[in-house]
């Protein structure tokens, strides 16, 4: 299935950064991707287009795969579904459009960019050369010359990665210009936004709880789970019989931080812990009520309601800073949406969305890698 799109999704915002700081940041990022981007070179299959712009391949399946592979394992879980992969693909598309705009304006030919890019290229080659222990006594210039003699700058993966970096650097130049656009907010706009979003600025309901937690490890056996449940039930029986919560928590609970406070946890808000925890804790209907033993992905719990602070509405003056922050972000998002819509309208863009299914997402390295199929 090929989808023609004229909608936009905002890419990650690159805030305005001083040139020197920006260059140092680029160099730090480069050091983080060396190991993965310059491992042993292997032949690759012919690229399959995910996105074409004006009839030419702009983003391939392999490019999206590499973008996911560079993410930390925990973060990759966000991109298991086709919808999430599409969102990441839209971010790559917006980056490509920024790059094209930079080239159109000739930013790639500016002396300042040329100098910065050459510095990045040189430092990257030095870092690659220094992967050999024998280079520890060499200067950076000697490492650079060695890299050239070894023709590291001609390796296909190096060439490809360097081009990706060049595109990122040029796209970031346009992004910084976009982010630097002034945003003006009138006082009446703030008040109108506050009135239409009043509930969002209210102080949420919070609880103070007594808590006992019995941890269950991820790959626990049935016997281990049964033993943990029995411990939790014994703790529940003792506190329900009137024993000191602090004493029972000290004897049973696996959460040392709350045990040091007598088993107390304060300012508990909805959505911070698990859904099972919220259901049990916020379902307690009177002070002193004790929940049954319940389980979530971390283990077994018992909670007692000590205090409840209901939702409290804030005045405009109290919430003003948060209102201004939220409205400013809304205006920035709108400005970005309009800008990218204009860029997209100037091109014929086609997305082969069915090919997203061939992008594998590895979320952990164990005895066997876990590959998620699209849902």
Q: Mind listing the domains of the chain with CATH numbers? A: 2-184+329-372 (no CATH), 203-309 (3.10.50.40)
> Which structure tokens are listed for 248?
């029972």
The label of the residue with tokens 């979530």 reads 296
Using CB atoms within 10 Å of the CB of residue 296, give its burial: 0 to 12 exposed, 13 to 18 middle, 19+ buried: middle
pLDDT recorded at residue 362: 86
> Which structure tokens are listed for 105?
């304006």
Distances, alpha carbon 158 to alpha carbons 34, 42, 138, 146, 195, in Å: 9, 13, 22, 15, 54
Contacts of 88 (CB under 8 A, 6+ apart): 64, 67, 68, 79
Per-residue pLDDT of the chain (375 residues; tens, 9 = 90+): 555 544 444 444 444 444 454 455 555 555 554 444 444 333 344 469 999 999 999 999 999 999 999 999 888 989 999 999 999 999 999 999 999 999 999 999 999 999 999 999 999 999 999 998 988 899 999 999 999 999 999 999 899 999 999 999 999 999 999 999 999 999 999 999 999 999 999 999 999 999 999 999 989 999 999 999 999 999 999 999 999 999 999 999 999 999 999 999 999 999 999 999 999 999 999 999 999 999 999 999 999 999 999 999 999 999 999 999 999 999 999 999 999 999 999 999 999 999 999 999 987 765 444 555 554
Comparing CA positions, the residue from 341, 356, 348, 354 lying closest to residue 9 is: 341
pLDDT recorded at residue 365: 62
| 3-state SS class at 135 | helix
Comparing CA positions, the residue from 168, 131, 175 lying closest to residue 332 is: 175
DSSP 47-77: P-EEEEETTEEEEEHHHHHHHHHTS-HHHHG
pLDDT recorded at residue 6: 44
The label of the residue with tokens 């703790």 reads 235
Contact 208, 304 (CB under 8 A): no
Q: Distance between CA atoms of 173 and 192, rounded to whole angstroms?
A: 35
> Which structure tokens are listed for 355?
């090919």
% helix, strand, coil for the chain, step of 5: 55, 15, 30
């Amino acid at each position: 299935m090929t989808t023609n799109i004229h909608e936009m999704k905002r890419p990650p915002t690159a805030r305005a950064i001083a040139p020197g700081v920006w260059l140092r940041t680029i160099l730090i990022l480069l050091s983080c991707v060396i190991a993965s981007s310059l491992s042993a070179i292997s032949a690759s299959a012919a690229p399959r287009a995910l996105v074409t712009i004006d009839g030419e391949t702009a983003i391939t399946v392999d490019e999206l795969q590499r973008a996911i592979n560079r993410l930390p394992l925990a973060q990759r879980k966000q991109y298991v579904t086709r919808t999430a992969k599409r969102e990441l693909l839209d971010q790559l598309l917006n980056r490509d459009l920024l790059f094209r705009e930079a080239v159109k304006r000739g930013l790639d030919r500016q002396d300042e960019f040329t100098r910065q890019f050459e510095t990045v290229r040189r430092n990257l080659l030095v870092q690659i050369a220094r992967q050999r222990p024998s280079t520890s006594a060499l200067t950076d210039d000697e490492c650079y010359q060695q890299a050239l003699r070894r023709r590291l700058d001609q390796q296909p993966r190096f060439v490809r990665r360097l081009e990706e970096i060049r595109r990122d650097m040029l796209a970031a130049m346009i992004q910084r210009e976009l982010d630097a656009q002034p945003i003006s907010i009138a006082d009446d706009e703030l008040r109108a936004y506050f009135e239409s979003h009043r509930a969002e600025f209210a102080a949420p309901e919070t609880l103070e709880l007594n808590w006992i937690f019995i941890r269950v490890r991820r790959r626990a056996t049935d016997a281990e789970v049964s033993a943990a449940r029995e411990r939790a039930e014994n703790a529940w029986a003792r506190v329900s019989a009137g024993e000191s919560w602090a004493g029972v928590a000290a004897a049973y609970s696996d959460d040392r931080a709350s045990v040091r406070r007598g088993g107390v946890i304060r300012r508990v808000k909805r959505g911070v812990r698990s859904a099972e925890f919220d259901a049990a804790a916020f379902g307690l209907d009177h002070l002193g009520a004790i929940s049954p033993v319940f389980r979530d992905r971390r283990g077994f719990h018992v909670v007692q309601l000590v205090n409840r602070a209901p939702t409290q509405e804030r005045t405009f003056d109290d919430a003003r800073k948060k209102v201004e922050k939220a409205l400013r972000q809304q205006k920035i998002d709108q400005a970005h949406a309009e800008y990218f819509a204009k860029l997209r309208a100037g091109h014929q863009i086609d997305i082969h969305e069915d090919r997203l299914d061939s992008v594998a997402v590895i979320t952990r390295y164990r005895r066997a890698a876990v590959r998620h199929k699209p849902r």
